[in-house]
Amino acid sequence: MGLFDMFAGKAANQLGNAVKQTVQSAGNKTEKIVFGNLPESYEQFTALPQASLSTPFQTAAMTVLAFCFYPKDSELCYRMIDFLRGPRPMNGSDKSFIADRFRDKDYVPRSYFAGATPSNDYQPVAPYTISVSENRYSYDEQGIAKLFIKSGGADDPRPIKLRKAKDGKWYLWEYSSILLGIRQPESSNPWA
């Protein structure tokens, strides 16, 4: 191998790595959805700008917000989730699944707000911000967006699926992963 062959190989290798990094970062967008104030009623919830559900990022963040109401008022939470599900309302099995996930873990949805960590018992601060990300595989299924929400109590972001309807809105399709267990708040963890 000649001197120039070695440089050509190295340049090709560097170009290959640059192309690989570009492909891997394609579609790796993160949106920060910010709520200045948290709603106190269904009417305030549906009046939020993000309630237009015009992007899958908005619907994902609105889902987290709706689940935050469960510990205080489960029926209000279910009503909000039905709004986010659009033409596919919840059934008894869906409600039972949610109730099961909230047994002794009312802090899970709060963990998705920026600044909410085990050390502060998952207490977010205003403005209430949720980071929602996509990756290069997020739109592999036609009409479905698989996005990821970072939790202060989990090592990896949790997936959530949204589906685009004929009306152009993005509705909640699959959310089970965002309700999975996370690290306990330090105040309730005897080992912390």
- What are the structural domain ranges in the chain? 29-188
What is the Cα–Cα distance from 69 to 191, expressed in whole angstroms? 29
What is the Cα–Cα distance from 56 to 70, expressed in whole angstroms? 22
What is the Cα–Cα distance from 135 to 76, expressed in whole angstroms? 32
pTM for the full predicted model: 0.84
Query: Taking Cα atoms as reference points, which of 81, 91, 94 lies closest to residue 46?
Result: 81
What pLDDT, on the 0 to 100 scale, is given for residue 7? Answer: 41
What is the Cα–Cα distance from 67 to 179, expressed in whole angstroms? 9
- Distance of alpha carbon 43 from the chain centroid: 23
> Can you give the length of the chain in residues?
192
CA dihedral sign of residues 150, 152, 154, 155: positive
What pLDDT, on the 0 to 100 scale, is given for residue 19? Answer: 39
Which spans in the chain are helix H?
Answer: 3-25, 42-47, 56-67, 74-85, 92-101
Residue ranges for the chain with pLDDT beneath 70: 1-27, 192
What pLDDT, on the 0 to 100 scale, is given for residue 185? Answer: 92
